[in-house]
Amino acid sequence: MSLYNQIKNARSKGDKVLAILLDPDKVKHDELPGLIERINQSRASIILVGGSEVASGITETVIKIIKDYSPLPIVIFPGDLNQITPMANAILFLSLVSGRNPEYLIGKHVQAVPLLEDSGLEVISTAYILIENGRETSVERRSGTKPMSRSNPDKIVRTAKAAEYLGFKMVYLEAGSGAKHPVSANLIEQVRSKVNLPLIVGGGIKSIQEVELAFKAGADIVVVGTAVEEDELILNSL
């Protein structure tokens, strides 16, 4: 079964999915086997791999190591084209719909096609919505776009709904890596009440309480990255 169908099945049963994000630029290769072992033993069922700036070839090397140690699906969460590798199972094909930079809405995607065709990767179109979190994020810097204001939830909900009408398969509410304030439960609830797509929430989530809060508000998938980078023991409690 495709990963997307597994995600939809989980959603229809009310099963929540924890995804751990590994930044190939930050993980230490010799420590990866131990970290992966810990992820295998946690409740996480997806490993996302990606970062805003990763040197060419590193993503592939890291995914090869992960594959040696984990049966979990590996999903590319690309900051750029050079992170696309057929070694993974799937890719979140992100369109930054919170911004108005054509390169990040459709431009890079056109360039990605030759890398995706015949790659065997499952391509999951995902509307990527960057939300203001209290500090500047690397997505903002790199894409040259502004995040959406937390004080205008209606516009965020309409953006997510427009993405559903446009035929995107998932919506990702992103506060940004290391965000000061994760996406609020209230905002997740508002989006959830209008949008019937699998909902991913990430950015600045650092504890089991915050994970559960996001799930309870309506997130189907919660992504934790920085907190695991800072202390992998947190995996025991997630």
Residue type, 81: L
Choosing from 90, 96, 129, 223, the residue that interacts with ligand 1GP (CB under 6 A) is 223
- The stretch among 57-65, 158-166, 171-179, 213-221 that binds ligand 1GP (CB under 6 A) is 171-179
* Binding flag, residue 179, ligand 1GP (CB under 6 A): yes
Residue 121 in tokens: 């990767």
Minimum CB separation from ligand 1GP for residue 173, in Å?
Answer: 9
Residue type, 136: E
- Confirm or reject binding of residue 51 to ligand 1GP (CB under 6 A): no
Residues 138-157: x where in contact with ligand 1GP by CB under 6 A, - otherwise, as a string: --------------------
Our finding on whether 99 is near ligand 1GP (CB under 6 A) is no
225 binds ligand 1GP (CB under 6 A): yes
Instruction: Pick one of 129, 202, 213, 219: the residue that binds ligand 1GP (CB under 6 A).
Output: 202
As a whole number of angstroms, the distance between CA 158 and CA 180 comes to 24
Residue 208 Cα distances to 41, 133, 137, 214, angstroms: 16, 19, 23, 10
Give the residue from 130, 81, 131, 133 showing the smallest Cα distance to 107.
81
Residue 124 · residue 93 · CB < 8 Å? yes
Give the nearest distance from C-beta 180 to ligand 1GP in angstroms.
10
Give which of 157, 210, 224 is closest to 187, Cα–Cα. 157
Q: Which of 204, 211, 215, 222 binds ligand 1GP (CB under 6 A)?
A: 204
DSSP 131: B
- For the chain, how big is the Rg over CA atoms in Å? 16
Q: Which of 33, 86, 153, 178 binds ligand 1GP (CB under 6 A)?
A: 178
Smaller CB distance to ligand 1GP: residue 168 or 172?
172
Q: Which residues of 65-94 are buried (b: 16+ CB within 10 A; e: fewer)?
A: bbbeebebbbbbbbbbebbbbebbbbbbbb
User: Binding string to ligand 1GP for residues 14 to 33, with x set by CB under 6 A, is what?
Assistant: -------x------------
Q: Which residues sit at the interface with ligand 1GP, rule CB under 6 A? A: 21, 174, 177-179, 202-205, 223-227
